[in-house]
Amino acid sequence: MNRHGLELAIKAAGLGEFEWDIARDTFVVSQHMAAITGVPAGEVGAEGGRVMDRHIHPEDRDRYLRERALGLESDGAWEAEFRQIRPDDGRTIWVRISAVVSRDSNGRPACVTGLVEDITQRKHEEDQRHTLMAELDHRVKNMLATVQALAQQTAKRTTSLESFLANFSGRLKAMGSANELLTAARWRGAAIDHLVSAELGALAPGQTRWEGPELFLTPRAANALSLALHELGANAVKFGALSSDHGHVEIRWSRRTDGGFELVWTETGGPRVVPPARRGFGSTLLDQVTGRELNGGAEVDYRPAGVQARLRAGAQAVAPRPETVPEAPAARAVETVITSSRGADLKGARVLIVEDAVLLALELETGLSEAGAEVIGPAYELEEAMALLDRPIDAAVLDANLNGRSVTPVAEALSRRKVPFVFATGYGEAGGAPGGFDAPVIRKPYDVTQVAAAVAELLRS
């Protein structure tokens, strides 16, 4: 390649060239390097290399000088990355140099020839990834700690395993519902009407209504409100207005002058209300946790005509509305928690389990077996699942994603054989089942008895 062609290639690659003649103590900066670094092009006195060293960020200079010294002593080439302060405009950029050392007849370094690359964008992206990973780590630990506390507090206030499973599963699903909305909005927050719709939209069609101004809540407030609405809804179904076909629940929220909001839950038309004889964890959630998490307060009035709850939130609970807010998800179907897998009769049914999370797969295997099913699998990988398809199968439970690979090939094969299946997945697609299949969907986190019930329903239809 001729010199002109080499220059074009270097320019196209976004590189700049330099030459440090140690014997003559000169440094040559190319036009390409000048454009990258802001150092004037041409030949200058090298001053033993210090002419360029003075532009290196003070925090990186000593490290680079050590790397260069080692490079000069070695045979061949060396590379280094450091921040440089451009002398023309004062901007700090990240550069990467690749240098080759040539030696004289006595073996002493005579010349250094190298290339310079601007890696500022790459470093910025790396910093963003590190920040996101740290934030993800923080959120995961917070979520696990919250789930642990939720389990412990629920267990302390329940008298049976069945009651614990029902209460804990419902609260976990409320957290999952809020998390789904937050994920859709990239964890900037969630719209209050979306939260209400997700919790109550399918709870009692025709018996619930809500209205209020458009508000966008912080992630912390969204989680707290979702849990509060779940507790109120669960109580209304068990003991309150929604335990009767004639009862109604109305939710209204309004802005407060301090920048926060107030939400009022009102039940009417249900059985006469009697204040609870003992405080359960649900009451603690409403009275203490919800109020504090909303930077406000919560009050529940057990009026004879119907429960009324008033939730007040401070300005800290309200987030700036993003330019685009995800559309409201379809109302989440209420998944009745069956407190025993014996409630679903799967005797003799051959059920394929495809799930990449080992603990979940084992829990599914146990639950379906207790319901009488003959479990095929579990299959943890796509290839495992495909290899099991030649066996007699009556129904299947499929995770949508298997270690980053879609379960679609398995679903397609089952559809061709007219074998019904249910998706048990953590993917929150509002448009129905993953891949557009006509199949029931149970969102994680779930209770295995829900899956058993769904499979039993498939086999009856």
Q: H or E stretch including 368?
A: helix 358-370
The share of the chain scoring above pLDDT 90, in percent, equals: 37
The CA-based angle 359-365-370, given to 5 degrees, is 130
The CA-based angle 212-429-148, given to 5 degrees, is 80
d(CA 269, CA 276): 19
The CA-based angle 303-309-310, given to 5 degrees, is 130
User: Which pair of tokens denotes residue 67?
Assistant: 């790397």
Query: Which DSSP state fits 356?
Result: S
Question: For residue 357, how many other CB atoms are within 10 A of its CB?
Answer: 16
| Domain 157-317 annotated CATH 3.40.50.300 | no
Residue type, 360: L
Contact 263, 236 (CB under 8 A): no
What pLDDT does residue 97 have?
93
Query: Which DSSP state fits 56?
Result: B
Query: How much is the average pLDDT of 60-82?
Result: 87
- What's the pTM value of the predicted model, to 2 decimals? 0.51
Choice between 197 and 14, residue whose per-residue pLDDT is larger: 197
d(CA 69, CA 106): 18
Closest by CA to 270, choosing from 238, 239, 309, 241, is 241
Query: How much is the average pLDDT of 302-309?
Result: 92
What pLDDT does residue 334 have?
37
3-state DSSP assignment of residue 135: helix
d(CA 83, CA 105): 35
Does the pLDDT of residue 6 top 60, yes or no? no
Q: How far is CA 234 from CA 222, 227, 307, in A?
A: 18, 10, 13
| Domain 3-118 annotated CATH 3.90.400.10 | no
Closest by CA to 80, choosing from 103, 104, 57, is 57
Mean pLDDT of the chain: 81
Structure confidence by residue, pLDDT tens digits, 393-420: 999 999 888 878 889 999 999 999 999 9
Closest by CA to 52, choosing from 27, 25, 80, 16, is 27
Query: How much is the average pLDDT of 96-113?
Result: 89
Q: How far is CA 230 from CA 169, 195, 291, 327, in A?
A: 11, 10, 15, 21
Structure confidence by residue, pLDDT tens digits, 346-381: 889 999 999 888 877 888 888 899 889 999 999 999
pLDDT bucket at 297, cuts 50 / 70 / 90: confident
Does the pLDDT of residue 312 top 50, yes or no? yes
Does the pLDDT of residue 340 top 50, yes or no? no
d(CA 252, CA 308): 11
Phi, psi of 63, rounded to the nearest 5 degrees: -60, -45
d(CA 288, CA 19): 69
What pLDDT does residue 280 have?
62
| Domain 341-460 annotated CATH 3.40.190.10 | no
- What is the layout of strands, in order, in the sheet containing 248-255? 208-211, 248-255, 261-268, 306-313, 297-303
Q: Show me where the domains of the chain are located.
A: 3-118, 157-317, 341-460
- Residue with the two structure tokens 């407030």: 221
Contact 8, 31 (CB under 8 A): no
Contact 364, 424 (CB under 8 A): yes
Structure confidence by residue, pLDDT tens digits, 189-247: 788 888 888 777 666 778 889 999 999 998 888 888 888 888 888 888 888 898 888 89
3-state DSSP assignment of residue 112: strand
Residue type, 43: E
